[in-house]
Structures are given as structure tokens and as C-alpha cells.
Amino acid sequence: MVFIQVILPVILIFFSGYIVQKIFKVDIKPISTISIYVLMPALVFTTFYTTPLDSKLLYIVITALLIFLALVVVMMIITRLSKQDTEQESALILLTAFANSGNYGVPIVLFAFGKAGVNYAVPIMVFHGIIMSIFGVYFAARGKAGIKVAIKTVLKQPTNYAIIPAILFQHFHIKIPTNFYESIDLVGSCAVPIVMIILGMQLAEVNPRKMDWKNISVASIVRLVASPILAYFICLLFPLDPLLQKVIIILAAMPTAATTAMYAIQFNTKPQFVSSGTLVTTVLSFATLTVLLSILH
């Protein structure tokens, strides 16, 4: 059964963070700061240091950008028609345009398609992380501080500077001494499980009675239904390997990225609303992903 074999193992990791937070009431912000400024840059560096720069990577970059831009446009149209303010628009874009392809998507792909699927999922996850570190930070900071501060904040994100040396090292065959590389890899390998646990901790702090159900419902439909449909039609534009196409669609169907909640906390852009939306899309995804995986298998 798809749910037991693929979805349940991931839920248990989230649940461990949820239980820890319910019992110990840990301050999440310092942990999220370490994840954003230390763990994720290390993961980005090691991934691009080892991932071949070929046509498949080019298709991954193009499709990821097109899916992201399509979702932003859809959300902006919806928010303008419903006359939402800039902060609410930014929060809704955080909920809909950024998929949890790393700490949820990669394990799902691993259990569903094995190592071959993960070989596609990891570079997609990393590129999603780059989009997040640029546009996620931009929209989170824009919500409260304005565009100028948002751009300055983006330029300060270390993840954006990890990719360039990684690509250069790979291109010019510059070998990092084994001990140093293993240290970087050790730190980067902590990123996915730590962010999964952080998401569980954040979900423990959500109060269902204070949820903005109308906006969360719209965001959930866009994130879980519209996104994989858009991804399917965008994939048809390119000569993709069937497995790569499936992985792109599955990752597009993921719930809201946990990192968006961390950025919302970091920049105080409706953190309760973003965390609530992350909770709802995560819970609903247990059903939507089970259906989608059954169709794609």
C-alpha cells in the first residue's frame, strides 16, 4: 500500500518534532537560523560539487523556474481579485509557490522510485532551495519591510554564495581534500532531517481555532492540485525522461515548504498564518500524494 510504504515513514519523522515541541516547548528560531545559515549552504555546496552539469540539469532548472513563475502569477491574480494587501499576498505566495521538495519530497521519491528517482530529486530539491533562498526570502522580507530591505536580505543569504564555488570547483576539477569534504558533507547531510523535525515542531505550535480558513483553503488547492497539473503540462514542453517527469510532478505536488514557515518567523510575515497553511497542506498531502502516486505508478 502506497500510504504505508511511502507516506507513513515520513510522517513519523515530523511526528517526532511535534512530540518534542509539545513536551519541551523549545525555542524554534535559533534552530531555524542554524538550518538556514549553516546546514542548507553545506547541502547546496556538496550537491552541486558532485552533480554533473548536463542537459538533464538544464531541464530541471527550466521546468522548476516555469512552475514557480506560473504559481506566483496564479497567486497574484487571485490576491489582486480578492483585494488582499501586500503582506497577505506575500504570505499566500510563500504558501503556494514553494514546495517541500527536500525534507518531504526526497524521502517520498526514495520510497516510491528508489535511488534512481533520488538522483533526479536531489538536484531539483537544491534548485528549489536556491529559488527559496532568493524569492522566498524576498517575499518574506517584502511582506513587512518593503522591496529594498527584501533585496538586501536576499543578498545576505549564504546559500546563494554556496552554489557558485561548488560549480566552479566541479568545472575546473578542483578536488577538495577528503577530510574537508567529508566535514562539509556531514553538515549538509543534517539539513533534511533537521528541517523535517523543525516542521514537526512548528506544527505543534499552530492553533487550529485561529486559522484563516478561507485563504488557507485557496492556498491548499493551488499548492496540492493546481501545482502538479501545471507541472504536468510544463513537462510536456520538453523531451524529458519518463522517470524525471514523474519526479518533477511528484515534487510539484508536495505541501508547502517548511522553510517558508522559518522565513515567516524570521521576518515576521504572518508566521502563524504561514505555519497554519503548512500544517493544513502537509496533512492534506497525505491523501493527495497517495492518489497521485497511485496514478503515476
- Note whether 130 and 160 are within 8 A (CB): yes
Q: What is the pLDDT of residue 232?
A: 97
Beta bridge partners of 99: 256
Q: Which three cell numbers stand for residue 202?
A: 512548528
Beta bridge partners of 256: 99
- What is the DSSP annotation of 65-119? HHHHHHHHHHHHHHHHHTT--HHHHHHHHHHHS-B-IIIIIHHHHHHHHHHHHHH
pTM here is 0.82
Give the separation between CA 95 and CA 281, rounded to whole angstroms. Answer: 9
Q: What percentage of the chain reaches a pLDDT higher than 90? A: 44
- Structure letter (DSSP) for residue 158: T
Q: What is the pLDDT of residues 112-129, one digit of tens each?
A: 998 889 888 888 987 887
Q: Is 240 left (phi over 0), alpha (psi -120 to 50) or beta?
A: beta
In sequence order, which ranges of 236-270 are alpha helices (DSSP H)?
A: 242-252, 258-267
Residue type, 3: F
Q: Beta-carbon neighbour count of residue 287 at 10 Å?
A: 12
Q: What is the pLDDT of residues 231-272, one digit of tens each?
A: 999 999 999 999 999 999 999 999 998 778 778 877 888 888
Q: Beta-carbon neighbour count of residue 4 at 10 Å?
A: 10
Look at residue 77 and tell me whether its pLDDT is greater than 70.
yes
Q: Is 69 left (phi over 0), alpha (psi -120 to 50) or beta?
A: alpha
Structural domain including 247 reads: 2-296
Quick one: which of 202, 191, 258 has its CA closest to 42?
Answer: 191
Look at residue 192 and tell me whether its pLDDT is greater than 80.
no
Beta strand segments in 147-272, E = none
- The CATH number for 292's domain is 1.20.1530.20
Quick one: which of 237, 252, 234 has its CA closest to 131?
Answer: 252
Look at residue 22 and tell me whether its pLDDT is greater than 80.
yes
Quick one: which of 216, 201, 213 has its CA closest to 265?
Answer: 201
- Segment 2-29 shows an average pLDDT of 88
Confidence bin at 97 (pLDDT 50/70/90): very high
- What is the DSSP annotation of 153-193? HHHT-THHHHHHHHHHHHHTT-PPPHHHHHHHHHHHHTHHH
Give the separation between CA 44 and CA 55, rounded to whole angstroms. Answer: 19
Residue with cell 487550529: 208
H or E element at residue 63: helix 55-81
Look at residue 147 and tell me whether its pLDDT is greater than 70.
no
Domain count, the chain: 1
